[in-house]
Chains A and B, each alone.
Chain A
């Protein structure tokens, strides 16, 4: 069975601080996909990143960066120089590869509520 754990329920930092959101996953598959989604106060889920299990290269997109480490089954998300607009609930998710390359439902963590104070 697959599982995603986001141990941080809520994080509060002051604007311009760096913050890291932790994500630890469990899966028996060797091929799987990891995702991060952002849920702002408006409620919709916004896709941030997808990473497959064969690509351990870290990724940077502006102030966002992701650190994927298979050895520790972690896929952590760092926001550099945080801004008030980054305030949201962030979800980490996992899907296992389906034979034939098909798609699968996502297993989500419980989410981390990030509060950026001005």
Chain B
């Protein structure tokens, strides 16, 4: 079974440009999460989808960030316009919905974003 995949693995853009990150969760996983790790800081939760609906977007830093999950499958995270402080590693994770409360989340390899 394929794991969580993310594209691209690396992205280098200039301040003011737009970047779109993509995440493909494990097939059948209704929960999809985005996280970010800024250099030297902890991994921070950004938002959570259940299927195509945003369950919790309390971690989104500002309105320059837009996440979508069309059809409840893959998700995109767009940053427009990018700022220097947006640099970091963006992780996507997925988990199934089921009995037993919070299930473990399976993480993708991350996208390293560098804003110059």
Q: Which of B16-24, B62-70, B105-113 contacts A (4 or more CB under 8 A)?
A: B105-113
Output the least CB separation between A85 and chain B (Å). Answer: 19
Does A44 contact B33, Cβ atoms closer than 8 Å?
no
Question: Per-residue 0/1 for B78-113: is the Cβ within 8 Å of any A Cβ (1 yes, 0 no)?
Answer: 000000000001010101010111111111111000
Given A103-B95, A108-B42, A109-B42, are A33 and B101 neighbors across the interface (CB < 8 Å)? yes
Does A44 contact B109, Cβ atoms closer than 8 Å?
yes
Given A33-B102, A107-B45, A108-B43, are A102 and B109 neighbors across the interface (CB < 8 Å)? no
Does A105 contact B45, Cβ atoms closer than 8 Å?
yes
* A residues near B33, Cβ cutoff 8 Å: 105-106
Does more than half of chain A's interface fall in helix, strand or loop, or is it mixed? Answer: loop
Which residue of chain B lies nearest to A33 when distances are taken between CB atoms in the complex? B102
Does B48 contact A104, Cβ atoms closer than 8 Å?
yes
* B residues near A43, Cβ cutoff 8 Å: 89, 109-110
Chain A interface size range: 20 to 34
| Interface residues of B, count at CB 8 A | 32
A-B residue pair count with CB separations less than 8 angstroms: 73
Output the least CB separation between B16 and chain A (Å). Answer: 27
Q: Which of B97, B106, B110 contacts A47 (CB 8 A)?
A: B106
Assess whether B59 is interfacial by the CB under 8 Å rule: yes
* A residues near B42, Cβ cutoff 8 Å: 4, 108-111
* B residues near A111, Cβ cutoff 8 Å: 42-43
User: With A and B bound together, what is the CA distance between A110 and B46 in angstroms?
Assistant: 16
Question: Per-residue 0/1 for B47-83: is the Cβ within 8 Å of any A Cβ (1 yes, 0 no)?
Answer: 1101000011001000000000000000000000000
Assess whether A14 is interfacial by the CB under 8 Å rule: no
Does B97 contact A106, Cβ atoms closer than 8 Å?
no
User: With A and B bound together, what is the CA distance between A43 and B45 in angstroms?
Assistant: 17
Output the least CB separation between A35 and chain B (Å). Answer: 7
Binding site for B on A (CB under 8 A): 4, 31, 33, 35, 37, 42-47, 50, 52, 91, 95, 97-98, 101-111
